[in-house]
Amino acid sequence: MSQLDRYILVMAGGRGERFWPVSREKTPKQLIRLLGDRSFLQQTVDRVLELVPIENILIITNQAQTNEVKKQLPNLPVDNIIAEPCGRDTCAAISLGAAFRKRRWRCCQRII
């Protein structure tokens, strides 16, 4: 399997309650810098870039965190940031990411 056939889905949503008072809804744990000068989200993307190109990384987040995700990951295509209309659970986030990936792949297949 080539790198172009792989996709990474990073779940980066939440309510920012886990590391309260450091984290908040707009800046939950994945968007704060605790270990070094990069956030946990940035460190995660850095690690998976060895496995896939940046175009194959999808970030699932929520509306409140979308702008900060865009700011922290300026090289990630904007269409790869998926804002859930409301937080559900892990299964819903994975299903949403899979649906976006499948829809995009079908569109590309029609063009080819």
SS3 letters across the chain: CCHHHCCEEEECCCCCCCCCCCCCCCCCHHHCCCCCCCCHHHHHHHHHCCCCCHHHEEEEEEHHHHHHHHHHCCCCCHHHEEEECCCCCHHHHHHHHHHHHHHHHHHHHHHC
Domain of residue 46, residue span: 3-111
Chain mean pLDDT for the chain: 78
Considering the entire predicted model, what is its pTM? 0.78
Q: In CATH, what number is assigned to the domain containing residue 73?
A: 3.90.550.10
11-15, 62-66, 73-77: which is most confident: 73-77
**How many folded domains does the chain comprise?**
1
Q: What is the pLDDT of residue 109?
A: 43
pLDDT tens digits along 59-74: 998 888 899 999 999 9
Mean pLDDT of 65-84: 92
pLDDT band (50, 70, 90) for residue 8: confident
